[in-house]
Structure 1
Amino acid sequence: MDAPLKPADDDGPSLLFNQSLEKGLAVLRAFSARRRTMTLADVAAATDITKSSAQRMVFTLERLGYVRKHPQTRRYQLTPRVMEIGFNYLAADPLIDVANPFLSELTKVTTETSNLTEPDGLDMVYVARFVSSQFVPVHMPIGSRIPMYCTASGRAYLSALPEDEALALIERSERVAHTAHTRTAVDDIVDALRQTRLQGYATNSEELFLGDMTLAAPVIGSQGRPVAAVHLVAPTSRWTLDEAVRKLAPTLLQCARSLTTSVRGIG
């Protein structure tokens, strides 16, 4: 079951907190690649709310055009209108506009796929992506989420945080072994962060997906804190880790530093 939404500051109950809105958003979040369509009972189970509450939420969302019911199966599914909310974020985020030319050049120079991810909770979220014409083992569309603890972009971001903050995020992570290569021990991940701080970039070799290898560097904002990470995909079918570090890391670092300079200029 997906984790329930919580207030951003999570300081405890508040008279201002709207539980109906929370439930409505939980219903939208419950739909996924694993749950493309759902009955009302499915919605109630996925969101941990009563069936009558699920019925009210789904009825309202259907009236607003965010979900629809299939005329034959009578199962509910999301509509394209949901994408308007995510697109509004992308359109309003100045970092994406600033990053796009740098990512385009990074892909042009390296001939590999470049990405920009931003932090959200314990995950990094894809917000920009320039795809290589070459084979890419895993398709990660805009909006995809990946855990911080076992990815290069996540470790790049964590490495630029104060150590106590990074440790707290790692300890809160579920730390599932996605492959035989996934580092799940806190000490191992902390060691990887120390290495990342020394060299300026993080690496990930098949810890999340087999065949997938990435290199990432943090983007630092105007307050001296990380705001995002840039990463390159270097499939194991084309690269060894040593080759990727030698040939791709310098260009990646240059991109991240140039982006950091530009980001600090926009406040």
Structure 2
Amino acid sequence: MKRPALFNQSLEKGFAVLQAFGAERPSMNLPEIASAVGITKSTAQRLAFTLEALGYLRKDPQTKRFSLAPKSLGFAYRYLLASPLVERANPYLLELNQKIRETVNLSEPEDLEMVFAARFPSPTHSIVHMPVGRRLPMFCTASGRAYMSALSNAEVRAILDGSDRIKYTPTTKTDVEKLMALVLEARENGYAWANQEYYRGDLNIAVPLLDVSGRPIAAINISVSSSRWTLEAFREKGAPMLIEAARKISTSPPSRSALAPFHRGYGISDPVRSRHSKTT
């Protein structure tokens, strides 16, 4: 694909180097970086040297292997710090978490996945550790289906057709027509659900968040354990609470006192911020 004239390929390669590190490649030497990113060893050397000098990579003096440095976390931190949606949603997500005493999340779309941008774990139970930044497929998660429920049918089908519909658990739905039916059901009911489709034992329901034009921009969800809830009881109790939380996020800017704990946690000295934006 031809890039626009203003596109900076060197910057693209620099980000590609950072993104090449992960659970499968926690550290790499220069040939491994070059292979992972698809660049020459000399380019890998220049990029790795620059990223190390900037503090985003560190190099083991004995093995000469590179790994991500703590400074790389700054990108995620700055996103959370600067996101009007996360700031606006946080007090209401915490309120919902305290009411239902289960895990509450906010996730945003990225390509064919939903990315966790805020998370309030259950104070008593946890099915699996799900850090902010974790990505899950749209097709088999309540958040993804909730997000898709506010899209056109053509957009939904394009997402489903483009997804690698892996059967992660025995209950994962992979048939496109059955998935379309679940999205249409979510559109009608105002919320989506998923029954242990990515993790065994994990039940979740979700509601979309819309912008002022009615387009979906995110989803909020509640996650519970199937050992403590039936899907029917969970949907009956959780869905109205989740829909109400979404309504508050969309229509009611949180008070200064509600935001204060989050501002202190983020190190924001001035509690008054003018960037509250309505999402519907």
Structure 1, residues 113-164: CA drift from partner, whole Å, max 9, x if none? 1011111111111111111112211111111111111111011001111221
Deviates more, 1:71-80 or 1:98-107: 71-80
Instruction: Kindly indicate whether residue 104 of structure 2 is the aligned counterpart of residue 147 of structure 1.
Output: no
Structure 1 residue aligned with 2:257: none
Instruction: Kindly indicate whether residue 197 of structure 2 is the aligned counterpart of residue 207 of structure 1.
Output: yes
Give the letter for the 1:96 counterpart: V
TM-score for both structures, normalised by structure 1: 0.91
- Deviation (angstroms), 1:84: 1.2
- Deviation (angstroms), 1:183: 1.4
- Deviation (angstroms), 1:40: 1.6
Deviates more, 1:27-36 or 1:255-264: 255-264
CA distance in 2 between partners of 1:266 and 1:256 (Å): 10
Structure 2 residue aligned with 1:111: 101
Structure 1 residue aligned with 2:149: 159
Aligned positions of 1:77-156 closer than 5 A: 77-156=67-146
Structure 2 residue aligned with 1:265: 278
Structure 1 residue aligned with 2:188: 198
CA distance in 1 between partners of 2:37 and 2:278 (Å): 42
CA distance in 2 between partners of 1:262 and 1:226 (Å): 18
Instruction: Kindly indicate whether residue 216 of structure 2 is the aligned counterpart of residue 229 of structure 1.
Output: no
Structure 2 residue aligned with 1:3: none
Deviates more, 1:107-116 or 1:182-191: 182-191
- Deviation (angstroms), 1:198: 1.3
What is the total number of aligned residue pairs between the two structures? 257
Structure 2 residue aligned with 1:175: 165
- Deviation (angstroms), 1:266: 6.3
Compared with structure 1, are the counterparts of its residues 80 and 181 closer, same or farther at alpha carbon in structure 2 (3 Å cutoff)? same
Contact between 1:137 and 1:235, CA under 8 Å: does it hold in 2? yes
CA distance in 2 between partners of 1:27 and 1:184 (Å): 33
Structure 2 residue aligned with 1:252: 242
Structure 1, residues 53-81: CA drift from partner, whole Å, max 9, x if none? 22221111111110011233322110111
State the identity as a percent: 47
Deviates more, 1:253-262 or 1:61-70: 253-262
Residue segments in structure 1 that go unaligned for 5+ positions in a row: 1-9
Give SS of 1:142's match: coil
Instruction: Kindly indicate whether residue 179 of structure 2 is the aligned counterpart of residue 189 of structure 1.
Output: yes
Give SS of 2:58's match: strand
Deviates more, 1:109-118 or 1:237-246: 237-246
Which of these residues, 217, 220, 232, is aligned with residue 210 of structure 2?
Answer: 220
Give SS of 1:234's match: strand
Which of these residues, 28, 32, 36, is aligned with residue 42 of structure 1?
Answer: 32
TM-score for both structures, normalised by structure 2: 0.87
CA distance in 2 between partners of 1:252 and 1:87 (Å): 26
Give the letter for the 1:195 counterpart: E
CA distance in 2 between partners of 1:184 and 1:20 (Å): 39
RMSD over aligned Cα atoms: 1.6
Instruction: Kindly indicate whether residue 49 of structure 2 is the aligned counterpart of residue 59 of structure 1.
Output: yes
Give SS of 1:178's match: coil
CA distance in 1 between partners of 2:252 and 2:55 (Å): 39
Residue segments in structure 2 that go unaligned for 5+ positions in a row: 254-276
Contact between 2:210 and 2:279, CA under 8 Å: does it hold in 1? no
CA distance in 1 between partners of 2:122 and 2:15 (Å): 35
Give SS of 1:197's match: helix
Give the letter for the 1:255 counterpart: A
- Deviation (angstroms), 1:218: 0.5
Give SS of 1:165's match: helix
Deviates more, 1:46-55 or 1:133-142: 46-55
Compared with structure 1, are the counterparts of its residues 164 and 238 closer, same or farther at alpha carbon in structure 2 (3 Å cutoff)? same
Instruction: Write out the 4+ residue segments of structure 1 that deviate beyond 6 Å after TM superposition.
Output: none
Give the letter for the 1:265 counterpart: K
Contact between 1:202 and 1:215, CA under 8 Å: does it hold in 2? yes
Structure 1 residue aligned with 2:274: none
